[in-house]
Amino acid sequence: MINIDSRSSKPIYEQIIDGIKENIMKGILQSGDKLPSVRELSGILTTNPNTVSKAYKELERQKAIETIRGKGTYVASNYKPKIDEDKLDELEKQIKNVAIEAHYMGMGKEEVIRLLEKIYKDLKE
């Protein structure tokens, strides 16, 4: 379900957020699907329950998931992506760094676009 790289510089809670979002994008998790409880997921990932709780809280803030008291946590049924200006700025910086790296690897604009299209296609399959 979610792969955690303990050697990564990215915090574990962000890896959990990214993993859940990727599973939603790939269609592995559908609108209305029940997610494991905080304790269940922390056991599966062998991580601290507070880390999973932090990830769930951020996903709720982004309205990607919803928690129903006494019933559990579910993929949001009415999720509508919206642009977060801070995240957009960060994404732009990341894409700029990718473009610079691609240039120094000898890749042209078209090759980068093809690579991005391949990644989108792989995520949708």
User: pLDDT tens digit string along 19-50?
Assistant: 999 998 888 999 999 999 999 999 999 999 99
Region at 27 (left for phi over 0; alpha for psi -120 to 50; beta for the rest):
left
Q: Are 2 and 42 in contact (CB under 8 A)?
A: no
Strands (E) across 34-89 are located at 34-35, 65-68, 72-75
User: pLDDT tens digit string along 59-110?
Assistant: 999 889 999 999 999 999 877 667 778 888 989 999 999 999 999 999 999 9
Q: What pTM does this model have?
A: 0.75
The per-residue b/e assignment along 32-45, b for 16 or more CB within 10 angstroms, e otherwise, is eeebbebeebbeeb
For the domain spanning 12-75, the CATH number is: 1.10.10.10
Using CA atoms, how far apart are residues 17 and 110, in angstroms rounded to an integer?
A: 30
Using CA atoms, how far apart are residues 12 and 101, in angstroms rounded to an integer?
A: 26
